[in-house]
Amino acid sequence: MSLLAKQTASLNCLDLFAGVGGFSKAAIDIGINVRAAVEIDHHACESYRFNLINTSPKPPKLYEADIRILDPKKVALDAFPSYAKCDLILGGPPCQGFSVHRIKGSGVNDPRNELLFQYFAFVAELRPKLFLLENVPGILWERHKSFLNRFTEESEKIGYRIIGPTLLDARDYGVPQRRRRIFLLGIRNDLSGAPVWPPPPTHQSPTAIDRDPKRLPWESCKHVFRAANKNDMNDLHMVHGSELIEAFKNTPKNGGSRSESGRTLKCHANHDGHKDVYGRIDPSKPAPTMTTACVNPSKGRFVHPTRNHGITVRQAARIQTFPDDFVFTGGIIAAAKQIGNAVPIKLGHTLLQSLATYLIEERAEQIHCNSTELLASNA
């Protein structure tokens, strides 16, 4: 093991609202020690256990529990005894209440919005060096401003400075998908400096006017439609009726839309509806955002580029940059929910590597300062 890997392995992390483990998987991949994770969804927990616990020499402790009831002190005592301080807390509280798809004033009083402060309760108890919170862009809307302001104010009161909110698009970091998310980074005040944040983008539009030669072009999603591994339990798609299959046959391949299929629904009599619904993915471009209904063509542009059905669970997972050996349990609907809620693995690698590098350098600086003080006191 390299010195950098050994140093990273000494970092301890907690993943809240862990879902299937997108953030956890990314952290484990770069060597961070995920000591614990919290998730309430049973199918997501089953998948988390299958992929990240049952085969790991240092498995995280998974709390399948309602975070509103789970005591942060219990998690601190169980998973972070005195010899294992918490360096980093990750997590994305359920974002449906903040979704940009909520119209007018809806979502303002959604009880899920308060889960933001259950996240904060764990920060207050464990006092990590850093915390990283992820959510949808809708959290920036004026109607939700009070939640974000309150979270920032409470964090500052207990000794954290906040960077953000920062809007990032996963396609700028090599994920073959247009996925915009908000990230809020908290840094404990006793730490000096700050991580490189946000990490510099690694990819850009091939047609960008001011192209940076150091950055690669955005990745298309063409490669995700290669054949699946034999016996892959996630190589399955929704079963459609004959009328819908006929509409897909009439939809132009590689990016065609519902309006081109000749199929008109009653709800489209007075308006054209969401134009992406029942549309085909264009494999020459980054895919649309993988939502919790990403295998359902009625919920977005989720029809296979050339075949007459929705994309498979495995194809959706590849768009989220999960490896093919990552298994999603619970059936097609449960699997889509797990995939849509996850942080893309490749984006997680980039974000967490930046934070890990900072924590390692900060620790080295602290050791140096302590040694200098000790030598001075003994002189």
CATH number for 85: 3.40.50.150
Does residue 85 sit within a domain? yes
The lowest-confidence range among 38-42, 143-147, 224-228, 373-377 is: 373-377
| Mean pLDDT across 133-145 | 85
Residue 40 corresponds to which tokens in the numbers above? 């309430």
Active-site residue set: 95
In this structure, is residue 215 part of a structural domain? no
Of the listed ranges 94-103, 172-181, 246-255, 271-280, the one predicted with least confidence: 94-103
For residue 52, is it within any domain? yes
Query: Percent of the chain at pLDDT above 70?
Result: 86
Indicate whether 5 pLDDT > 60: no
Host domain of residue 126: 3-207+345-375
Asked if residue 68 has pLDDT above 70, the reply is yes
Q: For residue 333, what pLDDT is reported?
A: 98
Which of 3-17, 154-168, 245-259, 341-355 has the weakest average pLDDT?
A: 3-17
- DSSP H or E stretch at residue 163: strand 160-169
For the cut 50, the answer to whether the pLDDT of residue 344 exceeds it is yes
298 in a structural domain: no
Half-sphere exposure in the Cβ direction for 113 (13 Å, CA):
20
The answer to the question of residue 63 being in a domain is yes
Q: Say if 119 falls within a structural domain.
A: yes
Q: What is the pLDDT of residue 4?
A: 55
38 vs 70: CA distance, rounded Å: 9
- Domain annotation covers residue 214: no
Residue 7's pLDDT band, with cuts at 50, 70 and 90, is low
Q: How many domains does the chain have?
A: 1
Specify the length of the chain in residues. 379
User: Does residue 250 form part of some domain?
Assistant: no
| Residue whose C-alpha is closest to residue 216's, from 178, 173, 170 | 173
**Strand pairing of 160-169 and 180-188?**
antiparallel
Instruction: State residue 110's pLDDT score.
Output: 46
User: How far apart are alpha carbons 280 and 261 in whole angstroms?
Assistant: 11
What is the tens place of the pLDDT at every residue in 174-226? 999 999 999 999 999 999 999 999 999 999 998 888 888 889 999 999 999 99
Q: What is the pLDDT of residue 101?
A: 46
d(C-alpha 367, C-alpha 363), whole Å = 6
Residue 374 has what pLDDT? 53
Residue 38 has φ and ψ, to the nearest 5°, of -125, 130
pLDDT at 268: 61
